[in-house]
């Protein structure tokens, strides 16, 4: 889970505020305010996703997801957009974009798959709660399409999509998707992706500039190094990953897969930092329990279920062990 520019979140928050979402209330719970957030700041991807998850609790709205993805203009990518525009052609721009995708606002990984007549920009979302997955697929593919379209248009080479592939089931209406992507959209596919004609990718960019490319590549490399140095340690990353789940918490194996580790390696690396997965899980459960007891009217059995306990009695015992008092007494005292 990396650190990156906060601009992408700001774009989305302003769009969500315009759509009537309680942006100010959610940010206040995180000690933030839209008016005082510094556009030059960085944010951890897990924290960003947690904020968005709290705002996107309603049933999936593809039009909102597409709107958010369309908010990512060239200006928001900083030196990355200049680097892509200085490439020799669309193919080089896409390869470069894949190399520096950590400077984008994706909640997933983009890879380039070359075929005889077309190329596929495949998108695989990171592990996240199911209720967020489809929204982020729609948002990130729309944002990626806008970046490809804007770069190619600015370079005088309008790249067109042949198809868009989506991994989820076909909705009742596909017109919204076809209007957004300006091509045929296929559902129930093995993976998500944008399909581009190879002829469009190999047309030279009239504005290509090798010297500018080297200049902006150095800037992008420095940004990647800066964000990497600012990233949280493994324990903090695991905690933030667990915090974004509102219902069933992931297993140790799920978390290890998310970070590309085996269970044994994850346990060992956490142990080297003086903690354990169970300790992190308990801390996250306690934090979530405090939130539910203070800010909701959920009955104890539902709180227990959300925290991964099969019985409310197990939750009661755990909460008393953490805080020294019963959860019911804590709730009454917090009112």
Distance of CA 82 to the CA centre of its chain: 23
CB atoms < 10 A from the CB of 170, how many? 12
Tens-place pLDDT, residues 116-168: 999 999 999 988 887 789 999 999 999 999 999 999 888 776 678 999 999 99
* Residue-level pLDDT at 186: 97
CATH superfamily of 234-334: Homeodomain-like (1.10.10.60)
* Residue-level pLDDT at 50: 86
Question: Which helix or strand (DSSP H or E) is residue 112 part of?
Answer: strand 108-114
CA distances from 244 to 50, 126, 248 (A): 5, 12, 11
CA pair distance 103, 117, nearest whole angstrom: 29
* Residue-level pLDDT at 333: 78
CA pair distance 255, 243, nearest whole angstrom: 12
* Residue-level pLDDT at 138: 96
CA distances from 136 to 8, 15, 73, 167 (A): 13, 15, 17, 12
* Domain spans in the chain, listed from the N-terminal domain onward: 61-226, 234-334
CA pair distance 239, 242, nearest whole angstrom: 5
Residue 159 DSSP symbol: -
CA pair distance 96, 92, nearest whole angstrom: 6
* Residue-level pLDDT at 2: 67
Positions in the chain whose pLDDT score sits under 50? none
* Residue-level pLDDT at 232: 67
* Residue-level pLDDT at 240: 80
In this prediction the pTM is 0.73
What residues contact 155, with CB distance under 8 A and at least 6 apart? 85, 90, 93, 205, 206, 207, 208
């Amino acid at each position: 889970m990396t650190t990156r520019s906060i601009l992408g979140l700001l774009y989305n928050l302003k769009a969500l505020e315009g759509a009537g979402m309680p942006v100010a209330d959610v940010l206040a719970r995180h000690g933030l305010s839209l008016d005082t957030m510094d556009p030059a700041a960085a944010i951890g991807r897990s924290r960003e996703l947690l904020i968005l998850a709290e705002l996107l609790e309603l049933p999936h709205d593809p039009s909102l997801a597409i709107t958010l993805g369309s908010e990512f203009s060239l200006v928001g990518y900083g030196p990355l957009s200049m680097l892509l525009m200085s490439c020799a052609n669309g193919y080089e721009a896409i390869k470069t974009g894949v190399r520096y995708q950590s400077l984008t606002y994706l909640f997933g990984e983009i890879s380039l798959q070359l075929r005889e007549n077309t190329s596929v920009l495949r998108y695989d979302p990171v592990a996240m709660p199911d209720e967020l997955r489809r929204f982020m697929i729609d948002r990130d593919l729309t944002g990626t399409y806008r970046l490809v379209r804007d770069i190619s248009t600015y370079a005088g080479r309008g790249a067109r999509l042949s198809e868009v592939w989506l991994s989820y089931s076909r909705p009742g209406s596909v017109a919204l998707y076809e209007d957004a992507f300006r091509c045929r959209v296929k559902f129930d596919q093995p993976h998500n992706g944008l399909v581009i004609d190879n002829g469009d990718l190999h047309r030279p960019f009239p504005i290509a500039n090798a010297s500018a490319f080297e200049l902006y590549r150095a800037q992008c490399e420095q940004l990647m190094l800066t964000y990497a140095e600012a990233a949280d340690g493994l324990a903090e990353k695991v905690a933030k990953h667990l915090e974004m789940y509102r219902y069933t918490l992931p297993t140790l194996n799920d978390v290890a897969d998310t970070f590309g580790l085996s269970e044994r390696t994850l346990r060992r690396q956490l142990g080297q930092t003086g903690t354990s997965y169970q300790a992190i899980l308990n801390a996250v459960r306690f934090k979530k329990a405090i939130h539910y007891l203070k800010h909701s009217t959920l009955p104890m059995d539902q709180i227990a279920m959300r925290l991964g306990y099969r019985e409310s009695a197990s939750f009661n015992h755990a909460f008393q062990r953490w805080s020294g008092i019963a959860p019911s007494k804590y709730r009454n005292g917090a009112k």
